[in-house]
Structure 1
Amino acid sequence: MFRLNQKDIEAYHQRYFRPSCLRALNLRFSTWDFFASFYDKIHDQIKVPPQLTLTPEDTVLNYFSILREAENMYDRGCGTIGQAKLPFPIAYNFLSQEYQNKLSYKEYVHLFSGIGHTSLIKLCRFPDRKRGIRFFYEIETIEGAEGKKAEYFGYSYGFISLLKEQEGFRISEMNRIEEDFLCAPYHGWNHDGETVVDVKYGHWCHLIEHIYPTIRNEYIKSIYFHGKDGADYCIIFALLTNGTDIEIAQFRKAGNEEWKQVHMMPEEDCAGE
């Protein structure tokens, strides 16, 4: 049976049971002045000001800043919350035309059901194998559930892809995965980056010759190892608020070559060996 000593238990409590205290990144629009000009418009009447989408980073930060006080909660009985539903038609126009063709405005708003406030707490751009524009993000939301009077904090993460359109950069793909706070501290090795690398690339794929010390930069963790094939590898993880390490990129360097992004799938290629 797997047992922890007191020191390990305290470390687990700090890693898995403590919510984020990071400052919000989406603070670009904090007054009514910005929203006033969109007050009487529906989603297909809105044109996003070009200066809001000049760079990929601007697009993402402005998108989440608009959504910060967007509200699509169940009836709370306390009047207007934030900017109510006014931000949704504006934010919808940060999506690419192709994305909007796949996701109707009604479906888009439904994605925010139960959410009354959104704080962007982590944002990191990382290379895309197709040479596209891709970000990792994490948000902290204030949510409510039908039949409950109290609100609670929720945490989600995901990946955002962008492309350049005539009017500026637009979001072409985006997913959102809700974080669990009970599985990680009690079950499984696959929440910890170092263990993931050791198991998947070592025990499963028999690829690791030796592992180098982990490099940690805020919530980004880079784990390097030298392979039995003579090449060096770097597996990059992002640390979520629930304490879990999420793999976001892989790189390989053979000899004097430059680092090249790769796409290894130990679960499919090695797990049965």
Structure 2
Amino acid sequence: MQKRKKMDMTSYHQKYFRPSCLKALNLRFDNWEFFSPFSEKAHDQINLPPELTRTPEDTILNYFSVLREAENMGARSCGTVGQARTPFPIAYNFLSKEYQKILSYDDYLKSFAGIGHTSLIKLFRVPNRKKEIKFFYELETIEGFIDKRAEYFGYSYGYIQLIHEKEGFRISSLSKFEEDFLCAPYHGWNHDGESVLEVKYGSWCKLIQQMYPTAKDGYFKNIYFHGTDGADYCFIFVTLTNGTDVEIAQYRKVNNGSWIQVYMNPEKECLTENPLQ
């Protein structure tokens, strides 16, 4: 009798939970043993092992790995989903003490209403002159509600800031924006990086003298132009799952000098009224 091959759990998760082509990044705790010591504890009874938060990257990857199989969508006909609500009290302890004062555990739990599975599909550190620890992320979630017997995939993105506390790096703020799949086809210019620059810095600010070819690397876009002020500019965008380009950073270079990060706001600097409002 032929021996049955042991199931590759990574392939299993990718097959059933991942319709997109990007690999999930939050796969650190692909076992039941990690959650067992926390299963009967409330959020204020949990102390995270220090190795989970030694670096900013560890904190974020471990945070989303804990949340990967967290479920807050009501009873499902197939029985228990993932680790049910066990991961939420653990994940809450990745937040800084000050952040927890602003966001109670009950409100934190409510923010996951309708979510049954979470895959982290994009993560990178955002450059900034203030030396803040800031990351960009994108999530793919399986969502559904008890009054609608169907699940669907949702996509969102945002920014995470971290600080170092005595116990390690903790999340001090987290923003989240839901992605839409209808606005871009009908109102495309504000979703496409090249068009954004041509409209805002060309038509509004009269700053573009010549656009250069866009350099693409995976989901990153580096868009260059030569300015009417004699300087060169580079804008970095990241492309979301829904095709929208999100601006991440701006750089300016004069003659043969170095690229210097800048922070320009065309709505405030070039217009008296914001046409997007």
Distance in 1 between the 2:249 and 2:20 partners? 23
* 1:73 to partner: Cα distance: 0.4
Q: Are the equivalent residues in 2 in contact too, given 1:238–1:247 (CA < 8 A)?
A: yes
* 1:261 to partner: Cα distance: 1.8
Which of 79-88 and 184-193 deviates more?
A: 184-193
Aligned residues: 255
| Secondary structure at the counterpart of residue 189 of structure 1 | helix
Alignment of 1:64-75 (within 5 A): 64-75=64-75
Equivalent in the alignment of 2:180: 180
* 1:74 to partner: Cα distance: 2.8
* 1:132 to partner: Cα distance: 0.4
Gaps of 5+ in 2: 1-18
Distance in 2 between the 1:20 and 1:202 partners? 35
| Secondary structure at the counterpart of residue 238 of structure 1 | strand
* 1:233 to partner: Cα distance: 1.3
| Secondary structure at the counterpart of residue 98 of structure 1 | helix
Distance in 2 between the 1:257 and 1:132 partners? 25
Equivalent in the alignment of 1:240: 240
Equivalent in the alignment of 2:126: 126
Distance in 2 between the 1:20 and 1:199 partners? 31
* 1:272 to partner: Cα distance: 4.1
Which of 71-80 and 116-125 deviates more?
A: 71-80
Q: Deviations over 1:160-203 (max 9, x none)?
A: 11111111111111111111011112223111001111111111
Distance in 2 between the 1:272 and 1:200 partners? 13
**Coordinate RMSD, CA, aligned:** 1.4
Q: Are the equivalent residues in 2 in contact too, given 1:238–1:246 (CA < 8 A)?
A: yes
Q: Are the equivalent residues in 2 in contact too, given 1:200–1:271 (CA < 8 A)?
A: no
TM-score normalised to structure 1 length: 0.90
Determine if the alignment matches structure 1 residue 153 to structure 2 residue 153.
Answer: yes
Equivalent in the alignment of 1:171: 171
* 1:106 to partner: Cα distance: 0.7
Higher relative CO (Cα under 8 Å, sequence separation at least 6) belongs to 1
Which of 91-100 and 179-188 deviates more?
A: 179-188
Equivalent in the alignment of 1:269: 269
Determine if the alignment matches structure 1 residue 142 to structure 2 residue 142.
Answer: yes
| Secondary structure at the counterpart of residue 27 of structure 1 | coil
Distance in 2 between the 1:150 and 1:50 partners? 39
Paired letter, 2:155:
Y
* 1:49 to partner: Cα distance: 1.0
Determine if the alignment matches structure 1 residue 104 to structure 2 residue 120.
Answer: no
Distance in 2 between the 1:129 and 1:75 partners? 47
Distance in 1 between the 2:229 and 2:218 partners? 31
Which of 250-259 and 136-145 deviates more?
A: 250-259
| Secondary structure at the counterpart of residue 24 of structure 1 | coil
